[in-house]
Structure 1
Amino acid sequence: MRTSLGPIREPALPARQSSARHLLAATALAMAALLAAAGCSTDSDDESEGGAASAPPAASPSGDPLAATVEKLLEPASSLPVPTEKLDGVAALKGKTVYYVPITQQSSQFKIIGSALTEALNSVGVSVQVCNGGANPTTISACVNQAIGANAGAVVTDAIPYGMAANALDTAQAKNIPVLITNQIIDPAHPASKTLGYVEGGGTAQLTAVADWIIVDSGGEANIVINGSTDSPSSRAYVESFQEEISTHCEDCKVTVNEISSANFPLISPSTSSAILRTPGVNYVISEFDQYLQPTLAGVQQSGKITSVKGGSGSAQLAGLQMLAAKNFLYVDAGQASTFQGWVDADAVLRLMLGTPLPEYEPVVRLFTRENVTGLNLTPEGEATGEWYGPTTFPAQFKALWGLS
């Protein structure tokens, strides 16, 4: 294979700050960033759901650093990156309430993060009020205004661009209610401050990891269609990171972006089929998020190419890993440790409330394939514990940081 193996970016590091330049004023469409699902295409006329790509994975050259990166991402972490900076004064926050506002509760990811955030904050006597953003700017603003009216200790938003509820978030900070934006890249129009913090999450790291897996798996000859969401600045930036990783490390690989939008959800299937048929030789079809999986899979079936491509996705959830285990369409899925992320968010919001600078948080990202899902506890309970990603001792580690042990 011909690949260009320059310095390898570690996919598990936080999202690149340079992506922030792509942030635009968020619109109502930004709400749908996580309401989408992944799909793939094929080159034969077989429309069975469990089709396999016609060619086996190519062997990687011995000593290939990209292959080594992928191998590392296929394994659970031996330890999770809990911050080391201790936090004093947490007892003073007892009795306060934090509002958690996810963009939507339709995704299990936000339910898991919200549950972990609640458990973590409850351990220090801080309560959590969940307010479903409903994928609607008006509803999100109403949630923030509810927090303001209740004189909340802080507001944590999840997968919501600042501009989607800018007036309400501005008002919260003006009333000295700190705001933590999670699972979004930094908005240069609203930089971090004493009352505004960001925890970017693993969006970029996940798609970068998928890109690396494809390069290695294809032997450096991948022809990829990726369903990329146009719904938010962050979702666009994640896809740009995917393209950059491919172009940097694989000169013979091609990437075609099929732009999709949750506002036009019924069009995902036909647009996927059209993108495949317009791109001869496609052998990988990638979804930005697991939430787009079913309509994109339908598009692959419509194209008649289900047996000649390998499907991939990001933001792995239980259904995606079950699909991998069943050898149905997907070959790779990248996920973020959502339970761990909930405790990270708790640490960040406690520091904001106490006026303490936030450390650099490293997301925990893992690649899942048909091979390494074997033996995993693919149940809601297994997903909630965070055991798919590594040790589950991090709650005690965070508590120790906060002076609870």
Structure 2
Amino acid sequence: MSTIKFVLVGATTLLLAACSSGTTGGSTSSGASAASSPLATKVAELEKAGDSYPVPTGQISGVDALKGKTVYYIPITQQSPQFAVTQAALESAFGKVGIKLQVCNGNATPTGIAACLTQATQAKAGAIITDAIPYVIAANAFSAAIAAGIPVLNTNQTADSAHPAAARLGYVYAAGSAQMVAVADWIISDSGGKANVVINQSTDGPSPVAFVAAAKDEFTKECPGCTVTINAISSANFSLIPSSTSSALLKNPNAKYVVSEFDQYLQPTLGGVQQAGKIAAVKGVSGAAQLSGLKMMSAKNFLYASVGQASAYQGWVDADAVLRMMTGTSGDKLPEYTIPIRLFTRDNIGSVPLTSAAEASGEWFGPTDYTGSFLKLWGLS
């Protein structure tokens, strides 16, 4: 099996430098003082669901003409439960338009991703949506699809200056950096500014590395008393995550927090903590929160905090962006979509409905009337 060529070798320990004067949260010396800090206030806000979703404005014309077309959805790997939620939302949204959704698993390898893109191109897809896939991993296949006149929407990535947005290449940028910053804020606040942290960082392309870099910057800014160790993991080496995590913890025996960057890595991360005999000594934290992880938190099993993005809402955002690209409504400039995030902790998890229906509706993050708002934009309501 081919492996993604962005994998970082080994675990690198970073002792973060002291922050400049005037920062908040980093100088706290106890949990009590942290509880009253501006950072703790920020954490409390992150724990709340929003009052509304940021649905874009601007009607789309010509949607009826798209009935019968097929859109390909290509997630980097179907190991991640987040993509299943987005897929279901896409199916629901496109079903209202009469568009068929075809799913192709990228299998977290350049060859698998390129094969999916090529399949969509040869099938003359109406459009292609890629999820968490850097353009550079399968650049030739991306370019071939665009050259064939197929609109390509690249989602859950950071900005790519080498491949800017154009009429047939659109972006819905990831909420990954915001999630990892929220993770850092919770850990700093919870630890009173004295955390020793191991982060299992995905190396499935440059974006996950950038997300964790944002967290490292937050620790540097807010927590001079914190120590952060980065442990590189990847989907292509999924079976090695438990031993890698165990090794990182044994090398850092004072670690009190272990972060799984995405929920797809949560179970093997937990396995590594158990292998190291540290299950009673550390607090588990994760990003890309999904139902299985939140149930773990509710049961007080390892997980103390998890940050998620509104994956169901993202499915409708992706559909909106693709419809604009297919109809030419927005030219080469899509709306600036924002995907909400929320921090789930043992303090607020009791008020969160832990059901598949609630996850699929988006109610964890705010009111669920956004679907009707999108349908109005599409001229269907």
TM-score, length-normalised on structure 1? Answer: 0.83
Residue number among 396, 401, 404 corresponding to 2:372 in the alignment? 396
Instruction: Pick from 299, 316, 336 the counterpart of residue 326 of structure 1.
Output: 299
Q: Deviations over 1:73-104 (max 9, x none)?
A: 10111111111233233233233221111122
Partner of 1:50: none
Q: Report the Cα distance in structure 2 between the residues aligned to 1:136 and 1:258, rounded to whole angstroms.
A: 20
Aligned pair partner of 1:372 in 321, 337, 348: 348
User: SS of 1:242's equivalent?
Assistant: helix
Aligned equivalent of 1:101, options 53, 74, 77: 74
Aligned to 2:311: 338
Inter-partner Cα distance in structure 2 for 1:200 and 1:260: 23
Q: Deviations over 1:52-82 (max 9, x none)?
A: xxxxx92345763322221111011111111
* Structure 1 counterpart of 2:50, from 63, 77, 102: 77
SS in 2 for 1:128: strand
Contact 2:34/2:189 (8 A) holds in 1: no
Summarize deviations over 1:179-221 as a string: whole Å, max 9, x none: 0011111222212111101112221111111111111111111
Larger CA deviation: 281-290 vs 80-89: 80-89
Q: Please name the residue that 2:86 is paired with.
A: 113
- Matched residue of 1:362: which SS? coil
In structure 2, how many angstroms separate the alpha carbons of the residues matched to 1:169 and 1:305? 44
Q: Which of 287, 305, 311 is the equivalent residue of 2:284?
A: 311
Among candidates 216, 241, 265, match of residue 268 of structure 1: 241
Q: Which residue of 1 aligns with 2:158?
A: 185
Distance 1:143 1:281 in 2: 44
CA RMSD after TM alignment: 2.1
Instruction: Output the CA distance in 1 between the equivalents of 2:37 and 2:349.
Output: 24
Is contact 1:157-1:180 (8 Å) kept? yes
Name the aligned partner's letter for residue 171 of structure 1. A
Retained in 1: the 8 A contact 2:131–2:154?
Answer: yes
Q: 1:31, 1:136 within 8 Å by CA — same for their partners in 2? A: no
Query: What pairs up with 1:293-312 in 2 under 5 angstroms?
Result: 293-312=266-285
| Whole-angstrom distance in 2 between the partners of 1:398 and 1:32 | 39
Aligned to 2:336: 360
Q: Distance in 1 between matches of 2:63 and 2:130?
A: 21
SS in 1 for 2:216: helix
- Matching residue of 2:20: none
Whole-angstrom CA distance in 1 between matches of 2:261 and 2:363: 23
Does residue 240 of structure 2 align to residue 240 of structure 1? no
- For 1:374, what is the secondary structure of its paired residue? helix
Q: 1:248 is aligned with what amino acid?
A: K
- CA deviation digits over 1:341-394, x for unaligned, max 9? 100101111112223121111111111111211142212222212121111111
Q: 1:153 aligns with which of 126, 130, 136?
A: 126
Residue of structure 2 in register with 1:254 after alignment: 227
Query: Which SS does the other structure have where 2:363 is aligned?
Result: coil
Unmatched tracts of structure 2, length 5 or more: 9-29
Gap runs ≥5 in structure 1 = 1-26, 34-56
The whole-number CA distance in structure 2 between the counterparts of 1:259 and 1:349 is 34
- The offset of 1:237, in angstroms, is 0.9
Q: Distance in 2 between matches of 1:32 and 1:258?
A: 11
Q: 1:136 aligns with which of 95, 109, 129?
A: 109
What amino acid is the match of 2:4?
Answer: L
SS at match of 1:312: strand
Identical-pair percentage:
58
Residue aligning to 1:163: 136
1:245 CA drift (Å): 1.1
Query: What is the match of residue 146 of structure 2?
Result: 173
TM-score normalised by length of structure 2: 0.88
Moved more, 387-396 or 376-385: 376-385
User: Are residues 401 and 32 of structure 1, via their aligned partners in 2, closer, same or farther at CA, if it must alter by over 3 Å?
Assistant: farther
- SS of the residue corresponding to residue 313 of structure 1 reads strand
8 Å CA contact 1:108–1:317 kept in 2: the answer is yes
Label 1:108 to 1:214 Cα distance change in 2 as closer, same or farther (>3 A).
Answer: same
Q: Is the 8 A contact 1:273 1:302 kept in 2?
A: yes
Aligned residues: 356
In 2, the alpha carbon distance for the partners of 1:231 and 1:149 equals 26
- Paired amino acid for 2:155: T
Aligned-residue offset at 1:236 = 0.9
Q: The residue matched to 2:71 in structure 1 has which SS?
A: strand
Q: Are residues 61 and 290 of structure 1, via their aligned partners in 2, closer, same or farther at CA, if it must alter by over 3 Å?
A: closer
**2:269 alignment partner AA:** T
**Equivalent residues of 1:93, 1:125 under 8 A apart:** yes
3-state DSSP of counterpart to 1:101: strand
